[in-house]
Amino acid sequence: MSDQKIFKASAESVAKAKQLRIIAFVAWILAIAGQVFAIFKLISNDMLVWLIVAIVVILALAITGSMLWKKANRLDPASEADKTKFFIQNQLGAIMGVLAFLPLVIAIFMNKNLDGKTKGIAGTIAVIALLAAGVTGVDFNPPSVEKYTKEINEQTTTLKNLNQGNDLIYWTPSGNKYHIYEDCQHIKGRTGITSGTVKESWEKKGISELCKTCESRATKERDSSN
């Protein structure tokens, strides 16, 4: 296609993604620090309750990091051309989730000073937390430059068919859909309405879905004119 549109994250999206990734790393570092503390200070029969509390806190930090990391990847995705980088960038949440718990799980089950009940309770909770952190961190539908490029071109074609050949849409700073009509009931009267192309809505704000109300209105207008 001579008019093929290639996705490229905007400077604003790249900056936002960088910020989210920094916060994600801070959350993961705190999770691992909590794990180290739990291993050396909380693995004992007398500290079971505090060990469970620590596991819950570590899990919350690990999941928070993973969610922020995934959000960053959707703003600034990797390319599928570099398979190693693509895998690591998209599945780092799962890797860090496992690392936040695996040493703790091993330490609990290998500790000879724990009685069977404490080891069973703490070990089971830690394993469940490990699985939860790992699964939550997995990106089952990872974004990529190639995937976004394909979607942008398909959506641009669809939009032009609905919008008299025009690649012009509208969106708001807080919205998650783009609109064909500036007077659409969902954005009419809102401040900060921005216009641009489908490609620009993806690159600047990560908005990738057409408003159903606008789609229905445009379809009716197109069909009536034909």
Instruction: Encode pLDDT of 147-202 as tens digits.
Output: 999 999 999 999 999 998 999 999 999 889 999 999 999 999 999 999 999 999 99
Round to the nearest angstrom and report the end-to-end CA distance of the chain. 27
Q: What's the predicted TM-score (pTM) here? A: 0.87
Q: What is the pLDDT of residue 125?
A: 98
What pLDDT score does 5 carry?
87
Same domain for 50 and 128? yes
Residues 34 and 124 in one domain: yes
Boundary (domain end) residue, out of 110, 137, 164: 137
Q: How many domains does the chain have?
A: 2
Asked if residue 3 belongs to a domain, the reply is no
Q: In the chain, what percentage of residues exceed pLDDT 90?
A: 89
Q: Which range of residues forms the domain containing residue 16?
A: 11-137
Rounded to an integer, the average pLDDT of 204-225 is: 91
